Structure 1
Amino acid sequence: MYSIPAVAALLVVPGKKSAGWLPWLLLGLFFTICIGFRFHVGGDWNNYLPHYYREIGAAFTDPINGDLGYVLLNRLMAHLHWGIYGVNTVCGLIFITGLITFCRAQYRAWLAFAVAVPYIVIVVAMGYTRQGVALGLIFWALSHLEEGKFFHYAGFVAVAALFHRTAVVMIPLGMFLYQKGWLFRAVAVALIGYALWDALMAPSLERLWTTYVEQKMFSQGAAIRIAMNFAAAVLLLIHWQQWKKIYPNALLWLWMAWVAMACVFFVNFAPTVVDRLGLYLTPLQVAVFARLPHLTRRRQDPAITVRYILIGYGAVLFVWLNYAVHAQYWLPYQNVLFE
């Protein structure tokens, strides 16, 4: 899974549209199958099965208990008798489509995708199904936000929140675009954010606070994952002067960098909360490392920088697979098509 985009990052001439759509369609199909048809892969595999079984025989008009989008998807798959694999395949397709849309907007698209594989694809999309869908939609939303399309961004974030309500925290990022129309966007963010918060977060806020903060639910490896976002944030700040000259709507990435750095100070207080919310900051890694070869081109050959990045993320994957406490739930990789 990692070697395909890594090799392409080394061999394909960079450029937004240099590879055409066919390789990306094949890549998307491959990863959708890997995610959707995985068999007993992922730390929350057994936790997601009851979500599907609970919807067997349920009518679409029955009350919704959980995240609206995910519950309705399970209900539809139960009616179609597609099983948990139908649910995971649809979720995988949404996630990969969002990720590929974002990566193809980068000059080094294959490098961007390679950076996403070790943690964002393998751990999140193949482990935290609901938040994986939400993250895929956030990638999609950020693609629109960089183009200055605020309402497109807000729409994708709203849909993401239907799969995992915590995605509402990304709504305020929409304010940090170009200065023109700032007050209008601030009002829109406040109204949209309040509506989503009141509808999705407020009813379960007390339970979430008790579970994640008061009981201090522990998230193994949270500090390492926060550190990865922190490293990307530091690199962006180092190259900020160049960044803001080259890339449109650079301010939104600066704010993501500041939040990523702030997470370092809160990770010990509520590690799982910061870790889960930090997932929405992982696009910062993809954007920064995909652009780093261009930012450092005057001091170092971009091809060498690409190799360093690929070696670094390859090492991340190696260490995680061999030493992470929960890696046992991903190994060996199994696919129902071959069982």
Structure 2
Amino acid sequence: MIIYYLTFFLLFICGFFVERLKLDKGTYFLALLLLLLTLLAIYGFRFEVGVDWFNYIRVYERDVANALTFTTPELGYKYLNVLSDSLGAGIHGVVFVATLMLLVFSFLAPMRLNINPFYFMAVVAPYHLVVAGMNLTSQSIATSIFIFAVTFLMQKRKAAYAGLILLAALFHFSAILLLSLLFIDFRKRYLIPPFLFIFLPVVAAVFFFYGHYFESGMENAGVILRVGFLIPAAFLIMAHKKKWLKLDKIRFRLCLVIVLVGPMLLAASLLSSTLADRFSYYFIPLAALLVMEQVIHSKRRPSDLMTYASPIMFLTAITAFVAWHVASSYIPKYQFQHLFFAAAS
């Protein structure tokens, strides 16, 4: 597990020095490219890592055997499997491309908002890169595309947002629910028609494809740790209520979503902790993105809590990861192994 901790602190240290050294654009992008390639060389060639590793092999075999038959709405992930098989890369090709997509979209999202991408990845990596990325391969792609898509929504480019969410849903159909954010700036009285005729049918479809989450016997106490990240993020937003109220309508309501989603997911976990846990992965990077965007617009006064937002969120994520590392019975499944090198602990 040491490789994960080294990754978190490497990302945070890179963020610290990049922010203070004021690198020119060429050096900055070279540093970013080198780090991305390093992470890809490590995590893109993982081997038998994650609780669902062998389940994904079964999905791979099913998709390859039924290449011309409709077996799933997640056609992007299906044909990634089929393409990898046709190129002779097997499941390892799928894992490599999935990791590449996770890294590229996750770094591009903060960069589009002028947020330090190293800090952003350091904050979300315990959840997004490790807990989800090392296990929930298809959903980690969808989550990465979603957080990239949100940057277009924040710029009021709704067509681009919708297109990217549809792309995300081709890798994990649960992402289709995030189309509801298209209506986030509607007046309240105009929300009823899309809720009745769009959102409810989509929810029904998601429940149809993921109904097995209600019967899951898996260990799902992790939802508390995931929601545990959202609480400090919500507190940081509410602690700066005056700035929050001055945001444009889309950003204001996205922040409101983060404030409300933690309690909502905890309530949903009573019905299905697996379902609540899976959806928490979409909101963790969103919360980090929203808070860190406010950081770059704050005056960085010593008395301003937002000045310390990145370290606060980083320590929250690390604390949750350590608790998961110590308490989870799934840790043996997450012991890192590389396809070409000896296993590392």
TM range, smaller chain: 0.7 to 0.9
- Uncovered stretches (5+) of structure 1, i.e. residues with no partner: none
Question: Residue 335 of structure 1 aligns to which amino acid in structure 2?
Answer: H
Aligned-partner Cα distance in 1 for 2:171–2:227:
23
Cα distance in structure 1, aligned partners of 2:70 and 2:238: 47
CA spacing shift, 1:139–1:166, aligned 2, 3 Å: same
Q: Say if 1:228 and 1:93 are closer, same or farther in 2 by CA, change over 3 A.
A: same
Paired residues in the alignment total: 329
CA–CA distance in structure 2, aligned partners of residues 156 and 282 of structure 1: 19
Equivalent position SS for 1:337: coil
The corresponding residue for 2:173 is 165
Q: 1:192 to 1:87 in 2, by over 3 A?
A: farther
What is the identity, as a one-letter code, of the residue corresponding to 2:19?
Answer: V
- The 3 A distance-change label for structure 1 pair 71 and 305 is closer
How far residue 66 of structure 1 moved from its aligned partner, in angstroms, is 5.9
Residue-by-residue CA offset, 1:41-68 (whole Å, 9 max, x unaligned): 111111111122234465x433434622
CA distance 1:284–1:272, shift in 2 (3 Å): same
Q: How does 1:7-156 map to 2 (within 5 A)?
A: 7-13=13-19, 20-56=28-64, 58=66, 60-65=67-72, 67-104=74-111, 105-156=113-164
1:191 deviation in Å? 7.5
Q: CA deviation at 1:192?
A: 7.1
Identity across matched positions, percent: 23
Give the unaligned 5+ runs of structure 2: 1-6
Q: Which residue of structure 1 lines up, in the alignment, with residue 287 of structure 2?
A: 285
CA contact (8 A) 1:5 1:114 kept: yes
Alpha-carbon distance in structure 2 between the residues aligned to 1:304 and 1:217: 36
TM-superposed CA distance for 1:267, in Å, is: 1.9
What letter is aligned with 1:161? A
| 8 Å CA contact 2:143, 2:282 repeated in 1 | yes
User: Are 1:336 and 2:339 counterparts?
Assistant: yes
Measured against aligned partners, the alpha-carbon deviations of 1:121-164 in whole angstroms (never above 9, x if no partner) come to: 11111110011011011011111111111011111111111111
Matched, 1:323 2:330: no
Counterpart-to-counterpart distance in 1, 2:138 and 2:255: 27
Deviations 1:240-260 (A, max 9, x none): 321353678313422421233
**Backbone CA RMSD of aligned residues:** 3.3
Single out whichever of 114-123 and 235-244 deviates more from structure 2: 235-244
Query: In the TM superposition, what are the counterparts of 1:194-205 in structure 2 within 5 Å?
Result: 197=202, 202=205, 205=207
Distance 2:89 2:161 in 1: 31
Distance in 2 (alpha carbons) for counterparts of 1:129 and 1:215: 18
Q: Which of 274, 297, 300 pairs up with 1:297? A: 300
Q: 1:302 to 1:252 in 2, by over 3 A?
A: closer
Matched, 1:265 2:267: yes
CA-to-partner distance for each residue in 1:251-284, whole Å, 9 max, x for gaps? Answer: 3422421233322222222211111122211123
Is residue 57–residue 78 contact of structure 1 (8 Å, CA) maintained in 2? no
* 1:275 correspondence with 2:277: yes
Counterpart secondary structure, 1:297: coil
Question: Residues 232 and 313 of structure 2 are in contact (CA less than 8 Å); yes or no, is this contact kept in structure 1?
Answer: no
Contact conserved, 1:172 with 1:193, CA < 8 A, in 2?
Answer: yes
Does the 8 Å contact 2:300/2:306 carry over to 1? yes
Partner in structure 1 of residue 224 of structure 2: 223
**2: CA distance, partners of 1:69 / 1:168:** 14
